[in-house]
């Protein structure tokens, strides 16, 4: 059974870069069968898709975040990472990683990591 686990600092200062890693266990990112995704949820609010990466390194980002987001993958460590630059308080959220099941049209997310709260504050 595939499990995902987010890790990284819970507090980031404004204007700095948020960095998180998602470690995958019980399955290989390199299998090529799935995409690997970051999603966030602002406190008490809905869900926002950030972007995904394929094991080959190809990425797709939310246009609203594209200028500040980088998602990378390390297949040797079976993990993928998120960097979000120039953060502000509006980036305070619970960040989830998830596996994307892809159809010809697009995809859905299962399973999800437990999520990690990142607070942007000085």
Partner 1 sequence: EIVMTQSPATLSVSPGERATLSCRASQSVRSNLVWYQQKPGQAPRLLIYGASTRATGIPARFSGSGSGTEFTLTISSLQSEDFAVYYCQQYNNWPPYTFGQGTKLEIK
- Rule CB under 8 A: which residues touch partner 1? 45-49, 51, 60-64, 96, 98, 101, 103, 105-115
Nearer to partner 1, 14 or 106 (CB): 106
**CB of 54 vs partner 1, minimal distance in Å:** 14
**CB of 66 vs partner 1, minimal distance in Å:** 9
Nearer to partner 1, 8 or 107 (CB): 107
Distance CA 36, CA 75 (A): 12
Quick check: helix, strand or coil at residue 53? strand
**CB of 114 vs partner 1, minimal distance in Å:** 6
Quick check: helix, strand or coil at residue 30? helix
Distance CA 95, CA 84 (A): 11
**CB of 122 vs partner 1, minimal distance in Å:** 27
Q: What is the DSSP letter of 31?
A: G
Nearer to partner 1, 28 or 60 (CB): 60
Distance CA 95, CA 41 (A): 6
Nearer to partner 1, 3 or 13 (CB): 3
Distance CA 110, CA 100 (A): 6
């Amino acid at each position: 059974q595939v499990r995902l686990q987010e890790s990284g600092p819970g507090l980031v200062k404004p204007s700095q870069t948020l960095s998180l890693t998602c470690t995958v266990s019980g399955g290989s990112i390199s299998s090529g069968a799935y995409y690997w995704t970051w999603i966030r949820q602002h406190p008490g609010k809905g869900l926002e898709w950030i972007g995904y990466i394929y094991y080959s390194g190809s990425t797709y980002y939310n246009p609203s975040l594209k200028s500040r987001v980088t998602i990378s993958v390390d297949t040797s460590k079976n993990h993928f990472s998120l960097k979000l630059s120039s953060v502000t308080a509006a980036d305070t959220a619970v960040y989830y990683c998830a596996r994307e099941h892809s159809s010809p049209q697009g995809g859905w997310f299962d399973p999800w990591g437990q999520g990690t709260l990142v607070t942007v504050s000085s």
